[in-house]
Amino acid sequence: MTVADEPSHSPSNSPLIPAFLTGGGEMGATVAGRDWSGSMLGAPEGWPPALKVATGMMLASPIPSFLAWGEDAAVLHNDAARNLLGAANATALGAPFTEVFPIREGLSLLARAQAGESVVRETVGFTRPDGEAAWCNLLFSPVRDENGLVQGVLVHCNDVTERVRLEHARIADERRYRALFESMDEGFCVIEFLDGPFGPLSDYVHIMANAAYERHAGIPNVVGQKLREMVGEEADAWVARYGAVLRTGEPIRFEQELVATGRHLSLSSFRIEPPELRQVAVLFQDVTARKQAEAELRRLNETLEARVAQALAERRLLADIVEGTNIFVQVADMDLNWLAINGASAGEFERIFGMRPQVGDNMLALLADKPEHQASVRAVWEKALSGEAFVEIGEFGEEGRERRYYEMRFHPLRDAEGVQVGAYQFVYDVTERLAEQERLREAEEALRQAQKMEAVGQLTGGLAHDFNNLLAGISGSFEMIGARLAQGRGSDVERYLAAGQGAARRAAALTHRLLAFSRRQTLAPRSVVINRLMADFAELVRRTVGPGIKVEMVAASSLWPTLVDANQLENALLNLCINARDAMPDGGRITIETGNRWLDARTARDHGLEPGQYVSVCVSDTGAGIDKATLERVFDPFFTTKPIGQGTGLGLSMVYGFARQSNGHVRIYSEVGEGTMVCLYLPRALGEEEVAPVEPTAPAAQAQGGKTVLVVDDEPTVRMLVVDALAELGYACLEAPDGATGLRILQNNDAIDLLITDVGLPGGLNGRQVADGARALRPDLRVLFITGYAENAVLNHGHIEHGMEVLTKPFAVSDLAARVDRMLREA
C-alpha cells in the first residue's frame, strides 16, 4: 500500500496508534497505519526503544526533520518535511535515505554521522520541488541504542531562505554602492572628524575616497591621511566649512581653492547620519579652467571701458580692441547698431541664428524674421542701454540644433566725458559648467539614496533575523498547544504557553527598542527629580548584576527636575547597567551619578544640544573599556560585540533614541583598560515636580459593573480581546472599527463612561480627533488611547488633557483592566 492509498488516522482517537506516535501529527498516523511487513524496520510496535524515542522526537519537531535508520538508512520524516520532498513524498517512508533526501550536500554528511560525528552545515543551497532556489541549515545527529552503538541519524533542516535572500540583497546593494562610488566622474570622499591639538573637531581623516579624488584634487593615496598633515595652514578653512555641516546637518555647496595643489574645486557636502559618527561626505570637481576663464573675463572687464573711451577719443576702431579673445564680445550704440563684434562672437551668432553680423549692422533688423529672438535681444540690451550693469544666463538653440547656455554680462558704454554712448556685452559659454553642476547634484542624490538603502538593508536584515527567531518560538508554541489539546494532554500546555508568551514579550521589547532608537516610542513625560527614583532603581540594579559587582549611587544635592518619562528612563539606565555588568565578567564597580549641568554655547555645540541647563545621569564601570573603532559604532542599530544569541545590538540604540526624543543627548567616553562612562543629558524642567498616579496592582473583578465602555480599533483581534476582557469584569462594551462609526455611537448613546481608542485609525479620523469630538459632546468623558506606535504629533507630543491617558501595545490584559478600573473610579 502506498502513502496515497493509506487510510487517514487521527492521532487523538485511534487506539491502533502506538503511544510514541500519538504526537506525530498526520505523519504519525501514516506511520502507524502503514504495512511494514516488507520493510527491514518491521511493525512499529516491535521497534527498538532508541528508534521509538528518535521517531517521537522527529515527528514532534516543528521544522523539517528526517530519521535515517539501520544499515539501509531507511527514511522516516515528519509533517514539515513533506514540502521538501515534493513528488518523492508518496514513496519516501521506508525508502533508502540516499534515494529520497532532497538536498544533495546532505548525502555526503550521512556517513560521518553514522560514524558517530555530529555535523552542522549552514546556508546549504537546494532547489524546492517547485523549482525555487532555497537554503537551509543542516544538523546531522547520530542516534545511539542502549549499548552506545549508532543505529540511525536524525536530520534537521532549518529553512533560512528569507534570511539568505535578505543577505544577498544587502550584498547586491553594497556592490551597487561600490560600483557607483568608483564609476563617478566626480571626486568623492568621506571624512571623519577628530579631536586634535587645536580643540574638539579640529581635524579630520579621510576614511573613504574614490579613484576620481586624485584626478580632481591632485592628491594621491588620501585614505588614512589627516587634513592638517595634507594641507597645513589652510586646514582651518576646510574644518570650518565641513564642521558647520557636521554640527547643523545642513548640506552646503561652495567653491574653494585647494592651495596645496593650486586647483579650484566646486564642492558639495552633507552629513552622514547619525551625527555621532562624526562623518561628512564630500563631492567635488576640478573647475580650475573655468576659474581661470572667469579671471580673464574680470581682467578684460576692468580694462575694456577705459580702452573703449580712449579709442573713441582717438577715433580708432573698436574692433581692434575686442579681437584676440575667445570670449564673445559685442559693443552696440544706443540704437543697437554694432560698433564692434569679435570673430568668436560673430561665429557663435551665425551658428545660433544662421547669419553672420558685421560692424554697422543693426541687431533688430538682422533678426526681423525671427520675432521671438528679436524680442528677447531687445529686452536684455535695453536694460544695459538704460545704464544698468547686470548678468543673465540665457539658453539658445533652434529645433534640430544643440541647445547651449551662456552667461551674459552687460555694462553701459561711456565716452571720455562719462556720457553713455551705448553698451557692451561679454558672453561666456557655460553649457559644460551647468552640466557639471547637474551631474554633481545627481551624483550627490544617488549617493544619498545608496547610503539610505544600505542603512535600511542593515536594519531590516537584523530585524528580520531577530523577529523570525521570535515568531518561530510563538508559532511553534501554538502548534504544540494545538497538538497537545488534540491528544488530550493538557498537562503539557502550560509549558508551551510560557514559551510562547515569553517570545511574545521579547518581540514587544524588540519593537519598543526599535521605536526608541527611531525616536518614535510613546512617551509620557512629567517633571521629576531623578534622585527620587534612584534608591529603588539602585536596588534593582544590584539584584540584576549580582553580588560580584558593587553598585554605587552618587546623587547631587539640590538636583533640578527634568521633563522625562520615568519608566523609559529607568529602562535606558538599566540597559546601561547591564552593558556595564557584561563588560566586567570578573567583577568590578558600577557608579550611577546625577548632577546639574550648565552648557555654554561651545560645550552645547559639541554635545549636539542647545545651550542651557541640563540634568545629567551617568553610568560608569571599571571594565575593559572600548577601542576607538568599536566606540564609533556603539549607537548603530543591531551592532553588537556579543556572541550570536546573546544580544540584539539595540540596547545603546534605544538609549540614544530615548535621549534625543526627550530633547536631550547621550555621550559615551571610554579608554581601553580604563572603563566606560555613558552620560544622559536631559533638559531642566522649570516649575514643580509632578507626582505620578499610582496604578492598582490588580483589577477588582466586576467592581465597575454597570459602566459602559466604547472600544474603537481597526484591528479585529485587538478589539475582540479588549471587549472580551472587559466584559468578563462586568462592563458593558460597544465597539467600532473606525473613528466615524465611533463618533456616531457616541452621538446616539449618552451612557458611555469611557472611550478606548487606537490612535492610528483608517477612514480620515485618527484617535485624537475621535477623542476631541467625543469631548465636544461630553466634556467629562474619560479617554484611554491605546497605540502600538508613537504618534506624538497626534497626541500633542505627550501633553494630553486631564482625563486622557495612553497605554502602549502590546499590553497585558491585566494592565488594561487595572487602568480601566482606576480611570472609572476617578471619574
Compare 686 and 507 and report the one with higher pLDDT: 686
Predicted local confidence at residue 145, as pLDDT: 84
| Least confident segment among 16-30, 329-343, 472-486, 769-783 | 472-486
Region 307-327: what's the mean pLDDT? 54
What pLDDT, on a 0 to 100 scale, did the predictor assign at position 618?
Answer: 92
Cα–Cα distance for residue pair 579/650, rounded to 1 Å: 11
Which of 73-82, 191-200, 749-758 is predicted with the least confidence, judged by mean pLDDT? 191-200
0.85 surpassed by pTM: no
* pLDDT tens-digit readout, 731-740: 889 999 888 8
Q: How far is CA 729 from CA 128, 706, 820, in A?
A: 51, 10, 10
Asked whether the beta carbons of 757 and 740 are under 8 A apart, the reply is no
> Residue 710: its pLDDT value, please?
94
Q: Are 270 and 251 in contact (CB under 8 A)?
A: yes
| 639 within 8 A of 631, measured Cβ to Cβ | no
Higher-scoring residue by pLDDT: 756, 369: 756
What value does the mean pLDDT take over residues 664-675? Answer: 84
The string of pLDDT tens digits covering residues 215-249 is: 888 888 888 888 988 888 888 889 989 999 998 88
Q: Are 667 and 656 in contact (CB under 8 A)?
A: no
What span, in angstroms and rounded, lies between the C-alpha atoms of 234 and 240? 11
> Residue 711 above 90 pLDDT?
yes
Q: What is the pLDDT of residues 177-199, one digit of tens each?
A: 666 666 677 888 899 998 766 66
pLDDT at 770 over 60: yes
Burial class (CB in 10 A: 0-12, 13-18, 19+), 462: buried
In a 3-state reduction of DSSP, which class is residue 425?
strand
Residues 391-406 have a mean pLDDT of 70
* CA pair distance 600, 609, nearest whole angstrom: 10
